[in-house]
Amino acid sequence: MVAELDPVDRLLLDELGEVPAGRVVVLGDETGALARALVERAGASTLQDPRVLQGWAGAGEQVVAHSDSLVAERQVAQALAGAAGGGEVVPDLAEALTGAALVVLRLPKSLDALDEIARTAALLGTDDVRLVAGGRVKHMTPSMNEVLGASFEQVHASLGRQKSRVLHAAGPRTVEQVWPRQRHHADVDLTIHAHGAAFAGTRIDAGTRLLLGQLDRLSGTDGTVVDLGCGTGVLASVLARRFDDVVAIDVSAAAVASAQLTTAGAADVRRGDGLTDLADASVATIVSNPPFHVGTAKDSTPTLALIADAKRVLRPGGELVLVYNSHLPYLPRLREVGPTEILARDRSYLVTRTVRA
């Protein structure tokens, strides 16, 4: 079942204006509703269907979609599978934006992610590529206009409707591609590489830093060590100095691309949805600094799913080591997996170790 268009999707569709023949790129669609609507409108336009809304060129539109999250990517692919006119999902951002004539974007929460999108579109799109970006007003800031203005000569906002607004950017500038960025951290002797949408960028966030101080307390048992939700690959890189078989997993395409650069081949970096691709009782240790946001909303569901699935994936005696905000109610769930102890704490975070019973 295809999701319904929400107010941001509907405003984006109404604000498209004249759509050129060429590559139309949909970014940040979480449900597939927006991508499917664009594919069906392009297909109807090509067929000269009188029901199609005005503004489409009528021939040659190719709609492609890219979502950073693998979960969203799969939903978009499912939505496009039944759409008249096709449509393609492209996992790589730069590949998706190559030759783009129009970019239709659900605004990301990260300004860095927006900057990478804008720069890449300006560099790899057509000479007259346009960007139409929509979001909920409560999540939009004037800084977004400034970020777009660094890559496009004209930026303006639409009128608001149903608590939503659209930013238009046109006239691509000659810009420098600064993504991925990198920064060396002498205290851990590690150079972190980060794409715009990767959590924490080139920093080591406070939770990860607290967890780093506990890695020498991990079991020395031979077996696979998994860094789940690996982000830019900080934990995986340090783990790989001690363990031979380190697997780094993240749902984000930007995170995986960043971690591949940071780990420099020392870990097996994979894009995946949690632990779902790992076999039962196949892992010795799972280490994670899990997210508690999905997009702009607080949501512990992915972490609770991780804890539940860890019981399946860990072999008996295997360990699950997490760092998380101390106010989150994870301890009761962890104790369902096995005996749990607190390894470290500070004013904001706990590091816990759970041994698979």
Residue 24 and residue 62 in contact, taking contact as beta carbons nearer than 8 Å = yes
Nearest residue to 249 via CA among 32, 70, 80: 70
CA distance 195 to 86: 29
CA distance 2 to 33: 6
Measured N-to-C along each axis, helices 7-14 and 33-46 cross at an angle, to the nearest 10 degrees, of: 30
Residue 133 and residue 107 in contact, taking contact as beta carbons nearer than 8 Å = yes
Q: With helix as H, strand as E and coil as C, how does 337-357 read?
A: HCCEEEEEECCCEEEEEEECC
CA distance 96 to 86: 16
One pLDDT digit (tens) per residue for the chain, 357 residues? 667 999 999 999 999 988 888 999 999 999 999 999 998 877 655 444 333 344 545 444 689 999 999 999 999 999 998 776 678 999 999 999 999 999 999 999 999 999 999 999 999 999 999 999 999 999 999 999 999 999 999 999 999 999 999 999 999 999 999 999 999 999 999 999 999 999 999 999 999 999 999 999 998 678 999 999 999 999 999 999 999 999 999 999 999 999 999 999 999 999 999 999 999 999 999 999 987 645 445 667 778 888 999 999 999 999 999 999 988 888 999 999 999 999 999 999 999 999 998
Give me the architecture of the 7-172 domain, per CATH: 3-Layer(aba) Sandwich (3.40)
Structure tokens at 7: 């107010």
Class of residue 153 by CB neighbours under 10 A (exposed 0-12, middle 13-18, buried 19+) = exposed
- Amino acid identity, position 253: A
pLDDT of residue 357: 84
Nearest residue to 254 via CA among 102, 98, 28: 28
Write down the pTM of the prediction.
0.91
Phi, psi of 19 (to 5 degrees): -100, 120
Q: Tell me whether the CATH fold assigned to 7-172 matches the one assigned to 181-355.
A: yes
Grouping H, G, I as helix, E, B as strand and the rest as coil, residue 79 is helix
C-alpha triplet 69, 72, 78: angle, nearest 5°: 140
Which DSSP letter does residue 56 get? B
Beta strands in the chain (DSSP E): 23-27, 62-66, 88-89, 100-106, 130-136, 152-157, 164-172, 181-185, 190-194, 225-228, 246-250, 268-271, 283-288, 293-294, 297-298, 314-325, 340-345, 349-355
Rg of the chain over Cα atoms, rounded to whole angstroms, equals 22
- Any idea where the domains of the chain sit in the sequence? 7-172, 181-355
Structure tokens at 248: 């780094």
Domain 181-355 in CATH: superfamily?
Vaccinia Virus protein VP39 (3.40.50.150)
